[in-house]
């Protein structure tokens, strides 16, 4: 199949890419794009589509509060947004699979996240495109788990979002979603390029840069009217 490189190329591919300080983190960003843009997809599913179609957003916590008087997650975490993130993540991985299909090191960092996978892998359902969707779906889920964990901690600290009221917590808004996204890839897809353990170093570098990337995407979401605040 055109999208699969033999596993014997694994060490050569990762080693050559890591020769550059920036190529490793850029490769990780490309491979984990479904997770990194899951929040943007969640904005479409949780705000843009509901506003367009007149659908009432449904908070995941159902409006419930804990003994500290604060919401469990708040209005910003909805089933609508979760659905958008999961579907958007799946579609984005199909896109990166299409762009990276057949690429090798000489083509730069835009490699196929399904490199070294085949029909023997657990997620190979519905062929290569179904597998790509499942990978992206899983990365989007990892992002949402981490994002929700960050929101849970923020509410316990009294940093809340109710309606248009929001709060700024740069590290809690970025590190949990990135860590959970990386963990999802490493744990579920260790035999694929996207879950290769040799990319942990570049993941750490990207983790440091994530607050800047996150703020940029939120500013864009605010600029186009998908977010009520630019953070």
Whole-model pTM: value is 0.81
Q: What's the pLDDT band for 230 if we cut at 50, 70, 90? A: low
* Residue that wins the pLDDT comparison between 34 and 225: 34
Total tally of structural domains belonging to the chain: 1
DSSP secondary structure string, 98-167?
HHHTT--GGGTT---TTTT--TTSTT--SHHHHHHHHHHHHHHHHHHHHHHHHHHHHHHTT---BTTB--
pLDDT tens, residue by residue, 39-93: 888 888 877 777 777 778 888 888 888 888 888 888 888 999 999 999 999 999 9
pLDDT in tens, 104-134: 655 568 899 998 899 999 999 999 999 999 9
pLDDT digits (tens, 9 = 90+) for 160-175: 654 444 556 667 777 8
- Tell me if 16 is assigned to some domain: no
Task: Return the number of other C-beta atoms located less than 10 Å from residue 101's C-beta.
Answer: 17
Per-residue model confidence (pLDDT) at position 71 = 85
189, 124 in Cβ contact below 8 A?
no
Query: Does a structural domain hold residue 230?
Result: no
Q: Is residue 199 part of a domain?
A: yes
Answer whether 25's CB lies under 8 Å from 206's CB: yes
Q: What is the pLDDT of residue 18?
A: 46
Please tell me the distance from the alpha carbon of residue 155 to that of residue 151, in angstroms, as a whole number.
6
Question: Is residue 63 a part of any domain in this protein?
Answer: yes
3-7, 52-56, 135-139, 212-216: which has the highest mean pLDDT?
135-139
Q: Confidence class of residue 13 from pLDDT cuts 50, 70 and 90?
A: low
- Asked if residue 144 is part of any domain, the answer here is yes
Residue 7 in any domain: the answer is no
The two tokens of residue 150 are 């960050």
What's the pLDDT band for 213 if we cut at 50, 70, 90? confident
Task: For residue 12, tell me if it sits in a domain.
Answer: no
Print the domain residue range for 82: 22-223
């Amino acid at each position: 199949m055109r999208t699969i490189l033999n596993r014997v190329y694994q060490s050569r591919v990762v080693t050559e890419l890591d020769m550059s300080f920036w190529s490793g983190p850029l490769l990780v960003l490309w491979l984990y794009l479904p997770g990194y843009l899951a929040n943007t997809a969640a904005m479409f599913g949780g705000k843009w589509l509901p506003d367009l179609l007149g659908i009432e957003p449904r908070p995941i916590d159902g409006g419930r509060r804990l003994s500290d008087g604060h919401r469990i997650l708040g209005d910003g975490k909805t089933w609508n947004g979760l659905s958008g993130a999961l579907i958007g993540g799946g579609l984005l991985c199909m896109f990166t699979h299409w762009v990276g299909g057949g690429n090798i090191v000489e083509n730069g960092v835009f490699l196929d996240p399904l490199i070294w996978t085949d029909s023997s892998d657990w997620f190979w359902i519905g062929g290569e495109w179904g597998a790509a969707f499942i990978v992206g779906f899983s990365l989007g889920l990892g992002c949402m788990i981490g994002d929700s964990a960050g929101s849970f901690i923020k509410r316990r600290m009294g940093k809340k979002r109710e309606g248009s009221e929001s709060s700024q917590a740069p590290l809690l808004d970025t590190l949990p979603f990135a860590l959970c996204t990386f963990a999802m890839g490493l744990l579920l897809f260790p035999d694929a390029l996207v879950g290769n353990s040799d990319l942990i170093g570049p993941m750490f570098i990207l983790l440091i840069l994530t607050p800047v990337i996150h703020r940029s995407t939120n500013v864009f979401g605010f600029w186009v009217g998908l977010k009520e605040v630019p953070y």
